[in-house]
Amino acid sequence: MNPRYMDIKIDTSRTYQFHALPNKASGKIFLAGLLLLITARSSAQTFSSQSSATFPNPTFNARNVVADFDDDGDADILFQTGGNGTAFSYARSNGNGTFTTVAQGSSPFAGLTLPDATAYGIYRTADFDGDGDIDVWVVANSSTGTYFRNDGSSFSSQSSATFPNPTFNARNIHADFDGDGDTDILYQTGGNGTAFSYARSNGNGTFTIVAQASSPFAGLTLPDVAAYGTYRTADFDGDGDIDVWVPANSATGTYFRNDGSSFSSQSSATFPSGLFNARNVEGDFDTDGDTDILYQTGGNGTAFSYARSNGNGTFTIVAQGSSPFAGLTLPDVAAFGTYRTADIDGDTDIDQWIPVNAATGTYFMQDGNPLPLVWLNVNAVFLNNQVSISWKTADEQNTSHFNVERSTDGVLFNNIGQKASSNSAGEHQYSFNDKLVQPGYTYYYRLKQVDIDGSYNYSAIHRVNIPGQRAAAMKVRDNPVRSDLVVAVTLPEAQQIRLVLVNAAGVTVLERREKPSAGETFITLQSSHLATGAYYLVLYAGRNKLRTTLIKQ
């Protein structure tokens, strides 16, 4: 067999999509240096209406927060039972689209004084300290608010002294804007027309506040942040990082694309133009790795349309009847954004819950292929100079094995090991040790569960920070590369380095020697003349040899 070629068996019962861009939901196959990304999905991804009998029924539909608070892979719900000053309760997901509701005292938030959950959704859920689980920040007017850190099995109250203190609590947006694995905060300092500032996460639950001009949004004219949170953060172009869309009434709004180290203003011509800017819901509703938009075209009682992402920052608009929500009666989208998108049933795709006042609301489950097992837990911890990955499953059917996959950016994953599955009823415990980790680096881990027939699904991603001083690091600023190649090289001290670019055939096409200073240096390689395709970039720095894969467009 020629080592440069291999046969791929295609299952004709499935639809396969081939991408030239990396994304978090794709499987990956490396062929003689050529990066080929394959996404397998069912041919008709749809939603169905399911019972919401066990969901919360708070007095006010906007006073709830949905996230995976106990880090078991499915979404739980923290909710205030009534108006200001009333008690909180906690709906713990059973991992199958049902919930068990308990008092706050029996939840991960036991013992905490929780601020009122106002209509504008001032509870912000994200990984604020960069340890891979969901924390909570409750924003307050002209104050740094309240910060609850997730300590694993419970939350604790921590100092919010370095968090932003905007005049109005709803005028902020949080996401990993700089792609370093923790959550930053963009916020408007006052009312309409006032300046924006940027709280850059230090990766430990604290922030450094800088002006917009010193942030990834430098040079952009940012629209005002409306009270209803009209800024939408998601991967709209399918390249694995967070973009920003600001919808507007009766217009397609403003689209800021994340180009790696900065954002740029791009055409929003194909985005939705609903009558009201807050009546839209974003999510990967067709499980192809990029973000789609479900939106109500007008006011109450009007039709819904669906903007299907083309995976490149553009959309194709179709009627609801041609979307994954075909045949469903969709409730009106209230101004406060009452549609909740999360993995409610623990099967790794996005479901929808629409809460209503004093009722359990409406639950739409995404009907993907049934999982061949139940994920009970997945953990990754640094211990004894290695990362220990452990996981527990139940009720395995037709399962073959688990691939342990690792990434240094949370987007591109490589297989580092394999464990055979038990393929039987009952609970099963597995473990794997990754000894090839470097001090000062952050690694991301996930499990790829493979069935006997070759189909697969992924576990949640877990992040592990390795203590110590890192040696050398390299990152391509814009990947895919559209013109010249810009490389960010980080060194602990000034030293001689060599950069080598190798094509898919193993031929060196570019080589560059430099002696950068300590810290981060951007090096530009003239590569606009190179053919499109996959390449390896190799950095030689002292005893370090680092390699990354890039795509030239």
Domain 473-552 in CATH 3.40.50.720? The answer is: no
**Going edge to edge, which strands form the sheet with 243-248?**
232-234, 243-248, 251-258, 263-266
Average pLDDT over residues 448-457: 85
Which pLDDT does position 23 carry in this prediction?
Answer: 33
Element at 294 (helix H, strand E)? strand 292-296
Distances (CA, A) of 553 to 206, 477, 497: 38, 14, 26
Q: Where in the chain is the domain with CATH 2.60.40.2550?
A: 473-552
pLDDT tens digits, 475-492? 887 788 888 888 888 777
Lowest mean pLDDT among 68-72, 113-117, 206-210: 68-72
Residue for token digits 């045949």?
A: 327
Which pLDDT does position 520 carry in this prediction?
Answer: 64
Most confident of 18-22, 32-36, 345-349, 367-371: 345-349
Q: Where in the chain is the domain with CATH 2.120.10?
A: 46-367
Which residues, at least 6 apart from 142, have a Cβ–Cβ distance to it below 8 Å? 165, 166, 167
Which pLDDT does position 121 carry in this prediction?
Answer: 59
Q: Count other Cβ atoms within 10 Å, centred on residue 328.
A: 17
Helix extents (H) in 193-340: none
pLDDT tier, 78 (very low <50, low <70, confident <90, very high otherwise):
very high
Q: Count other Cβ atoms within 10 Å, centred on residue 486.
A: 18
Most confident of 178-187, 317-326, 389-398: 317-326
What kind of fold does domain 372-466 have according to CATH?
Immunoglobulin-like (2.60.40)
pLDDT tens digits, 81-132? 999 999 999 999 998 899 999 999 999 999 999 999 875 558 999 999 988 8
**Phi-psi group of 477: left, alpha or beta (phi > 0 → left; psi -120 to 50 → alpha; rest → beta):** alpha
What kind of fold does domain 46-367 have according to CATH?
Neuraminidase (2.120.10)
Which pLDDT does position 337 carry in this prediction?
Answer: 55
CA distance 92 to 463: 23
- Output the furthest CA–CA distance in the chain (Å, rounded): 72
The whole-chain average pLDDT of the chain stands at: 85
Q: Where in the chain is the domain with CATH 2.60.40.10?
A: 372-466
Lowest mean pLDDT among 80-89, 335-344, 446-455: 335-344
Burial class (CB in 10 A: 0-12, 13-18, 19+), 413: buried
Phi, psi of 193 (to 5 degrees): 90, -10
Most confident of 173-182, 235-244, 425-434, 479-488: 425-434
Average pLDDT over residues 150-171: 93
CA distance 188 to 197: 6
CA distance 133 to 136: 10
